[in-house]
Structure 1
Amino acid sequence: MENSPKPIYLIDDFEFVPARFLLIDHRPEKGGQERKLEPKQSKILELFAQHQGEIVSREVLEREVWAGTIVSEQAVNNKISELRKLFGDNYKAPKYLKTHPQLGYELIAPISLLNEVKPEPAEPDQYSLAPVSTEHLPIKSSYHAAFFYLICIAMVVGGGFYLYKVLENTHQHEKKAVSLSPVTVEKGQEFSLNVRRDGQLTYSYRPLGAENWRIKIKSADGMKERYITDENEDSNSPVWLGNTDVIFYIKNIGNSCSIWRADDVWQKNVHKRLAGCGNLASITPLSVGDKQEWLYFSRFNGQSKFELARLNIETLNAETLVAPPSASFGDYSSTISPDGKKLAFLRASSYSQVDIMVLELATGAIKHILTVTHNIYRTSWDNSSETLYYIDQDNRLVAQNTEDGEITLLASLQQKSLAPYLDYDGVPYIVEGDFHVADIWEGDVSTEQYQEIVASSYQDYGVEVSGETTLFTSNRSGLPQIWLKSKGAPTQLTSFKRYSAIKDKHLNTDLNVLFFIQDNELYRLGIDSQKLVKLTPAGWRVESLVSDCKTGESLFTAKSNGIWSLYRFDNAAQRPIKVLSDIYQISADCDFNKYYGQQFTGLGLVEISLYDQTTYKLSFAELAKITSIEWQVNNNRLYILDKNKLVSFDLLTNKLVLSHDFSDEFVVHTFDVDAGRQYFTAKRQTEMEIKKIIFN
C-alpha cells in the first residue's frame, strides 16, 4: 500500500497511473480505453518512466521488481513482451521499448509528467493479465539474484538426517529447516522412484559393480519388499498404474529398448512386452496420465533422435507427440502433470546444453521454460500442475512456475543430488549421490598397460594433454575448475564463483593464457592477471575447441543463427572469423598439420583444408558403423570411443589397428591422445540413495 502520492506520466498517447496500476490509451481509435496492469508490469514501466532515455539493465529489473527472488531470463522477457503488446509496439522497429543487446532496455517514447495527481493507495483485487509468451527459442537462464543464500547448519550423524537452512518462500523471506530421511537402505545405487497413492514404493536398484538395474517394490510400512525383475536383465524406470498392483517399466537388451508391463507384482508377477522404444538403451522415466489411459515415454527413432510418444494402455497403439527439431538432438525424460494437460520434457539442444520444455497436450503448443548446462535427468510437477521441481546447477532443489517463470529456492543440498520426485501428497524425494566418480588414466591400451595419474574423491575429468602439460577439470575445490598438472602437484588455474559446464581447453605457447569453453561460450583467461574475456557474441553456442598448429590461434565450432560452423578467433582483429559451415566438432593432428571435423548433418567425419576452406569426407566400411561423437586424430590415426570401446583406424590404409573394450575394467567417458599415448576419464560407480525431504 502506498501512503504518498505517485506521479502520473504521459507516455506518448498513453496515460500511466502507477498508484492505480492503470494504463489509459488515449489514441483516437481507443478513446481512453483503460487497462489494468499486473503489479510487475506496472513496476517495470514505472522504472522505465523514472529513467526515460536511459538504459535499464536486466540486473536492475531483477533487483527492483522481483525483490531478490531468483528469476529466469524468460520471466523478464515475458514481462517486456507483455508491455510491448499493451503499447502495440514492434520490437524490430520500436516506438516505446527498445532492446539494447547485452545491456538492457530503454523507454524511447516522449514522456511528460502530468500535474494532476490522484493517488489511490488500495491495491486492485484483480489484474488483467496479458498472455504469457510461448517463445520456442531457448534462452539461457540467469541466476543474478544473489540476495539470499542457503547455509548448511548441521549434519546429525545418527539416524542419517541432514539439516539445512532453506528459503521455502523467497517472497516472504521465510527460513525453514529441512531433513533428509533415507527411504531405502541397500548398499549400491537406487534410482527412478515412484510412489503409489497408498505409499507403496517401486524403484530401480543395482549393487556396486553390477551392470544391470533391477526393479524392486516395497510396502508403505517397509515391512515387505521384493524384486520383480531378474538380475540378468537390465530393467529400470518403473511406474505404478494408479493404485493397482501393475507396474510399467523399461527393459534394455543390448542396445534394444522396450516397454513392459508386470501384473500382480506381489503375487504372480506376470510380465508382458508392450512396445519398443528404440535401438538405444534408456533410463528415461515413464509416466501414466491422470485417467490411466496413456503411458508417456520417449523413444529413439530412426532419425537417431529421441522423440516423445505415448502408448494407449488398452489398445497398445503408440503415437508420436512431438517431432524434435532438426537443430536439436531430441526430446526425452517426459513427465505428465497431475491434471493430465501438460507434459514436461527435456530437449537436448547440444551435447552439453538442455532445455526444459512444456507441451500443452490439447493445443500442441510448446513453451520453453529454462536452459541448463548440467545433467538434470528429470523434472517433477507439483499438485497444482503449474510448478516444476528440479535440481539446479548449484545443487539446490528449486521450484519454477511455468506460467511466469519465477523460481523459488527450496533447499540447498550438501551432497550431490539428482532427479527430484513428488508423490501424490506433494512430498519431495531426491536421489543423493551420483552414478559415477571420475578419475584420469594414462597408458597404452594396445598392451593394456595404463595407470591412474589424476585421482581424488571428487570428479576429475575432461583431460587434454600436450607434451608435459595436462589440463583437466575437477570439482575437488568445491566447484568445477580447470587444473594444470605438469611435473609436480596439480595447480588450480581458475577461480569460478558458480557452477558451470567446462569443456575443451588449451594453453598458448607461452603457457600464460588459457582458452576454454564454459557454458557453451568461448573465453580467454590471463593466468597471472586472472583477467577473463568472453570471445564469442551473445547467443552463440560453442561446442569444440583446438589450437591452430601453426599460429596458436583458437579454432572452434559454434552454432550461430541456427547453423553450426567452424571459426577461427583472429587475435589481431579480436573477433571470430568463419571458416566453414556444417562443422560440429573439430580435431587437430599437429604432427602432420592436419585438421578433421564432424559434420552436424549426419555426423559424418571429414578432413578439413584450412588453406582453401574445403572438406574431404572420410568414408570406409568400418567407419560407417560408428555413431560416436567422442573421437580424436593423432599421428594419422583416427581414435573413436564407441560404447565403452576404443578403436583406432590408420587413415593412410583405412585399416583397423586397435580395438579395446573397457567394459571389464571401468566406464570410459572422454579421452585424449598425445604422442601415441591415450589419456582417458574412467568412471567408477558410487553410492546412490533415495531420500525424502521433510520441511520442518
Structure 2
Amino acid sequence: MAEQYWIGGFYIDLSRNQITQNKQSQIIAPKALAVLTYLAENQGKVVSHDALLAKVWQNTVVSPNTLQRSIAQLRKALGDDSKVQVYIKTHAKQGYSLECDVRWHEHIESVNLNSSQENVVDETPVIEANSSEANSDINNATITAAITPARPKPSRSSLISISIIFGIMILGIIGYQTLPAKQPSQLSFGELRALTSTDSKELASIYSPDGQYVVFHRYSQEFCVNNIWAKNTKTQQEFQLTNNFDSYGSHSFSKDGKNLVFIKTGGCSQPDTQKKCYKLMSLDFNRALGAPQSPNVLLECKNSAIRNPKWLNNNNIALLQKFSDRWQLISYSVNENKSQVLYAIDDGNILDYDYSVTDDLIALTSFHVDGHYYIEVLNADGQLVSSHRIKYPEEIANFRLIYPNFSPLKKQLIFSTGRQLFTLSHDGQVTNISLPLDEPMGTPTFHPDGNRMIVIKGRYDSDIVSMPISQIAQAQTEQVQSQQNISLSVLERSIVADESAILQPNGELIAYKSERSGEDQLWITDGKGSQQLTQFPMDTYLFGMDWAADGKSILVNANNTLTQVYLDSSQKSFPLEYAVVQLFQWDSSNNSALLLIRSKGILKFAELNLTNSEIRIINDNTVNWALKSENGQLVYTDHMARFWQQGPVEDQLIEALEGQGREKQRFVIKDNVIYGINEDFQLWSYALNQDRFEIITQLPNNIDDLSDINQTQLLMTVEVSSKKEVVELSLSE
C-alpha cells in the first residue's frame, strides 16, 4: 500500500501520520488515518461499519463510538462536518464513503520532475519548524531535496554559509538523539478492548510488575463465590489463584512480582465495634499460577477497618486504617510484625492514596479544616513533599470525591468521574482528557510501560416493582411464608437502573431515579408514561429524595447538594458549605431535613433547617438510614445494621430487630410501623407503639431494596442484572 497519496488538495503521509494542505500540517491518530486509507482504497463505494471495524481494529473489541470519533477527527482535518459532507459521506445504517478523487504515489520521489514548481509546493508536506509534533519525527527524519528549476551556481561564500547551517542542523539532530526520551505532554486514548467477558462480575484489577498478567476478582452471583484470578494478556490464558475465597479488597504486588497482598473481610470471631473483621492476606503468586492456593494471614483487625494495601519498595506494606471516623496511613512491616503511622490529619481526614513504584512517592487526597479537598505528595517514609488544594473545573461538582492513580505523565495522576477522565497535577490542577465514554468506567490503572491502562466497566439493571398491600394482610393472616404466593408487578422497566421509587402524597404519581438518559436523573410516572424532570450534568449521582407534603415538589440530593425540583421542572437550590452525603427524609411542613453530611472529612448525622441553613448534629455515628415516624419518633440504623430509637437521655437499641437489618439498606415507616427486609430476604414489620415484630413473607432473592409504602402498595427495587468487566484503553500513537 502506498504511504503517500492525495485526496483533492490534501496530502496524506502515513509515515508521519500527517494530513497537509497549503503548508499546514496536522497530526492524525494512526487508526483514524487507517480508516481514511481504507475508504480511499474503496473510493466512491459504501464501506460498512463492520468492514471498517474489522479492517482497522482486527481482533479487538472497541467501543461502539470509536469509529464515529475517528470519522469526526478526519472530517475536522479535511474541513468537513456531519452536515456538509464534501469528502466523507454518511450512509444511514450502511456505512461511509469517500466522495473525492484519490491520487496514489508509491514514493514521494515519484513526483513528476517536469511538474511546475507551484504544483510541487502544493503537494509536498511541510513540517512547521516550531511545531511540537515536528520534534517527534526528528529521529526518523529523512532529508528530501526540494525540487526547483535550475539556478545559477552559488558563490563560494554562499557554499560556506550553507555548510555552516548544515553542520548546525546535523549537530542539532545528534544532540536531540542523545536526549532522554520525553514523556507524553498529554494523554490521548485510542482503542478499547475487553480483557474479561463472563457472566460473573470482574473488578479490582491491576497489572503485574512485568505487565504480563492482569489480576482481578471474579464474583459469581449465581454461586455466591468470589475468587482471585489472573489472566495472561498475551496468551489469554486464565488462572484461578484462590479457591472459594471471599476477598473484597484491592490487590498489590511486591516489587519482585512474587507475592500479592489484599484485604479479606469477615471470617473471624464477632467484633465489638464493627460488623466485620478485616484481614491483610498474602499469596504466593507463582505457586498460585500452578494451582489455587490458600492465602496467609499477615494482620487481623477486629476493631478497626483497613483497606487499600500497597507494597512499598522497602518491602513494607502501606494501608489505610480507620479508627472511629478517621483514616490514617500506616506502614506495616511484615518481618517485624508491627506498624507505624506514616501520615494522619488531626482536624481532617484522608480519602484515598496511591503509590508509585517508579518514583517511590505516595500521593493522597484528603479533607482539611478549611472544608476543601487537597492533593498531598509524600516520600515513602511519610515526609510531606507538597500539599495543594484541588481546583475543581466546571465539569466536576464541588463536593465530588475523586480517587486518582499515578499516570505516565510527570507529576500527573489520573481519575474517572464515571464517563469522563481527568488528570490531576501535584499542584492541584485538574484537566479534562476529553474522552467522553459511552458508559461509566472507574479505577484507571496504568500498565508498567505507560502505554495502556485498565479500567472497570460496569452496568446495573434494576426495575421498580409493586406489591399490593392486600398480600401483606393475607400473609399476616395466613402466615404465608413462600415466595411463590406473592405477586410483584413491574411499574418501570428499562435496560439500566430504575430505583428509589417514592409515592406522591395524596396523589397518583411515583418519583424515581433512572439512568436511562445517560446518568442519574429524576423521573416521574403516572403509570401510563414517564417524564424526566431534571437535566443534571454528566456524571451526576443522586443520593436520596423525598416528596413535599403537598406533593408539588421533590427535594433531591444531586451531587451532594440539595435541590428542590417542582413538577414543571423548575428548581430551587440550597447552597451549603458542606457535602450532603445522603438525604433521608424531608419534613416540608417544618422545612427541615434529616441528612448525613461530611464535615472536614467526617460523617455526621444531622437535621438541617432549610429556612436559615442552621444545622443540628444528632450524633457522630455512621448512620446508614434514618426516618421519623408520624408521631415524631426518630429511628435509624448504624454501621452494624442495628436499629436505634432516639430516647430522652440516650438512644435505645431496638432489641426486637436484632439481626433484621441489611447493611446499607433502607427501611420505611407507615402508621408508626417499620417495614424492612432482612439478609434472608424476608419482609418483616415492627409496630413501634406495641413493640410487636412479625415476619410477613418470603421475597425473591433478587429484591435489592425497599423504597416506599402507602395504603395500597409497597414499592421495591428488583435487580435484573449486574455486570462488571475489566477493559483496557490504549494510548493513541
TM-score (norm 2): 0.60
Distance 1:557 1:415, change over 3 A: closer
Spell out the pairing of 1:16-55 with structure 2 (5 A cutoff): none
> What letter is aligned with 1:181?
R
- 1:298 maps to 2:303: no
Distance 1:628 1:221, change over 3 A: closer
Greater Cα shift, 462-471 or 561-570: 561-570
Distance 1:660 1:331 in 2: 41
Q: Is the 8 A contact 2:463 2:499 kept in 1?
A: yes
- 1:219 maps to 2:232: yes
Distance 1:488 1:173 in 2: 53
Match of 2:490 in 1: 452
Distance 1:579 1:252, change over 3 A: closer
Q: What secondary structure does 2:512 align onto? A: strand
Distance 1:669 1:290, change over 3 A: farther
Match of 2:632 in 1: 594
Distance 1:261 1:278 in 2: 15
Greater Cα shift, 470-479 or 433-442: 433-442
Q: Is the 8 A contact 1:379 1:421 kept in 2?
A: no
Distance 1:224 1:540, change over 3 A: closer
Which of 626, 631, 634 matches 2:670? 634
Distance 1:434 1:354, change over 3 A: farther
- 1:189 maps to 2:201: yes
Distance 1:601 1:216, change over 3 A: closer
Match of 2:420 in 1: 396
Match of 1:682 in 2: 718
Match of 2:693 in 1: 656
Structure 1, residues 281-311: CA drift from partner, whole Å, max 9, x if none?
99954322234x122333555x376654332
Distance 1:670 1:389 in 2: 37
Greater Cα shift, 552-561 or 212-221: 552-561
Distance 1:310 1:375, change over 3 A: farther
Match of 2:655 in 1: 621
Which of 503, 511, 520 matches 1:480? 520
Greater Cα shift, 242-251 or 174-183: 174-183
Which of 194, 198, 219 matches 1:206? 219
Distance 1:461 1:323, change over 3 A: farther
Spell out the pairing of 1:305-324 with structure 2 (5 A cutoff): 307-322=328-343
Higher strand share: 1
Q: Is the 8 A contact 1:285 1:297 kept in 2?
A: yes
Distance 2:649 2:529 in 1: 42
Q: Is the 8 A contact 2:463 2:717 kept in 1?
A: yes
C-alpha deviation, 1:262, in angstroms: 1.9
C-alpha deviation, 1:602, in angstroms: 10
Spell out the pairing of 1:318-357 with structure 2 (5 A cutoff): 318-322=339-343, 331=351, 334-335=354-355, 338-344=358-364, 357=375
Distance 2:639 2:247 in 1: 32
Structure number, greater radius of gyration: 2
Greater Cα shift, 503-512 or 454-463: 503-512
Distance 1:232 1:182 in 2: 25
Q: What secondary structure does 2:634 align onto? A: strand
Q: Is the 8 A contact 1:188 1:206 kept in 2?
A: yes
Greater Cα shift, 450-459 or 433-442: 433-442
Which of 309, 318, 335 matches 1:286? 309
C-alpha deviation, 1:481, in angstroms: 1.2
C-alpha deviation, 1:560, in angstroms: 9.1
Distance 1:306 1:340 in 2: 22
Greater Cα shift, 172-181 or 434-443: 172-181
Q: What secondary structure does 2:653 align onto? A: coil
Match of 2:571 in 1: 532
C-alpha deviation, 1:227, in angstroms: 0.9
Spell out the pairing of 1:141-156 with structure 2 (5 A cutoff): none
Structure 1, residues 92-147: CA drift from partner, whole Å, max 9, x if none?
xxxxxxxxxxxxxxxxxxxxxxxxxxxxxxxxxxxxxxxxxxxxxxxxxxxxxxxx
Q: Is the 8 A contact 1:183 1:692 kept in 2?
A: no
Distance 1:484 1:209, change over 3 A: same
Distance 1:687 1:178, change over 3 A: same
Match of 1:415 in 2: 439
Distance 2:291 2:640 in 1: 47
Distance 1:234 1:435, change over 3 A: farther
Distance 1:515 1:220, change over 3 A: closer
Spell out the pairing of 1:107-256 with structure 2 (5 A cutoff): 158=54, 159-162=60-63, 163=66, 164=69, 178-201=190-213, 202-207=215-220, 209-222=222-235, 224-231=237-244, 233-234=246-247, 237-253=250-266, 255-256=276-277
Q: What secondary structure does 1:161 align onto? A: coil
Structure 1, residues 667-689: CA drift from partner, whole Å, max 9, x if none?
62563333485423333322423
Distance 1:269 1:605 in 2: 41
> What letter is aligned with 2:192?
L
Match of 2:708 in 1: 672
> What letter is aligned with 2:250?
S
> What letter is aligned with 1:389?
I
C-alpha deviation, 1:220, in angstroms: 4.7
Distance 1:598 1:463 in 2: 20
Distance 1:665 1:511, change over 3 A: same
Match of 2:405 in 1: 380
Q: What secondary structure does 1:237 align onto? A: coil
Which of 459, 465, 479 matches 1:441? 465
TM-score (norm 1): 0.63
Gaps of 5+ in 2: 1-48, 55-59, 74-131, 133-183, 268-275, 476-480
Match of 1:496 in 2: 536
C-alpha deviation, 1:418, in angstroms: 1.6
Q: What secondary structure does 2:655 align onto? A: coil
Q: How many residues align?
A: 520
Distance 1:376 1:200, change over 3 A: farther
Higher helix share: 2
Identity %, equivalent residues: 12
Q: Is the 8 A contact 1:508 1:552 kept in 2?
A: no
Distance 1:387 1:260, change over 3 A: same
Q: Is the 8 A contact 1:212 1:235 kept in 2?
A: no
> What letter is aligned with 1:297?
L
Structure 1, residues 179-213: CA drift from partner, whole Å, max 9, x if none?
11223344432222222233221222234534332
C-alpha deviation, 1:638, in angstroms: 2.9
Distance 1:376 1:637, change over 3 A: same
C-alpha deviation, 1:487, in angstroms: 2.9
Distance 1:420 1:219 in 2: 19
Cα root mean square deviation, aligned: 4.5
Q: Is the 8 A contact 2:192 2:727 kept in 1?
A: no
Spell out the pairing of 1:425-436 with structure 2 (5 A cutoff): 425-434=449-458, 436=460
Structure 1, residues 493-525: CA drift from partner, whole Å, max 9, x if none?
222343322233334455443332222222223
C-alpha deviation, 1:548, in angstroms: 3.2
Q: What secondary structure does 1:594 align onto? A: coil
Distance 1:377 1:429, change over 3 A: farther
Match of 2:559 in 1: 519
